[in-house]
Amino acid sequence: MRILGIDPGLERIGYGVIDKIGSRMIPVDYGLIETPRIEMPQRIRMTHDRMLELIHQHKPDCLATERLLFTVNKTNAMDVAKSLGVILLAGAECGLAWCEYSPPEVKQSVTGVGNADKKQVQFMVTRLLGLAETPKPDDVADGLAIAITHAM
């Protein structure tokens, strides 16, 4: 099974593609989608187009995203929700199954601790996938962690 994990954002979207074969998880690709500070409709369109490119390039079986949890900055929450909406739209257009996981679920799955910090998540992602280097920035490690969570 091929999984596309997404850490949603507006300026930066971390992604990770892994293959789950038996009990093994094999990294396929990971990186960052960045959008410039331009008008929202064009920015959202860029996110949608880039997601379609990733899906067509890697042909995942499913899309896994992190559930949005915001308590303080409502404006930022709305902007990230807009981005997540077009991410889900791209997945739906390509017929992908979708699951979402809360940040504590992802941390628990990857590190064994639901309140792990970013460095612990990065360390375990690197270890679980046998990567030579730690994925950076943390958005990228989070995209991989979300894919790992779905694989488990």
Is 7 tagged catalytic? Answer: yes
Out of 19, 34, 66, 117, which one is annotated catalytic? Answer: 66
Reply yes or no on whether 19 is catalytic. no
Is the model more confident about 78 or about 50?
50
State whether residue 149 is helix, strand or coil. Answer: helix
Write the DSSP symbol of residue 72. S
Residue among 19, 49, 139, 142 flagged as catalytic:
139
In this prediction the pTM is: 0.92
Q: How confident is the model at residue 69 (pLDDT cuts 50, 70, 90)?
A: confident
Q: Which two tokens stand for residue 40?
A: 């929202």
Which residue ranges form the domains of the chain, and what is each CATH number? Answer: 2-151 (3.30.420.10)
Is 11 considered catalytic here? no
Q: Which two tokens stand for residue 93?
A: 């257009």
**Between residues 100 and 71, the one the model is more confident about:** 100
pLDDT exceeds 70 at position 65: yes
Strands 12-21 and 24-34, sheet pairing: antiparallel
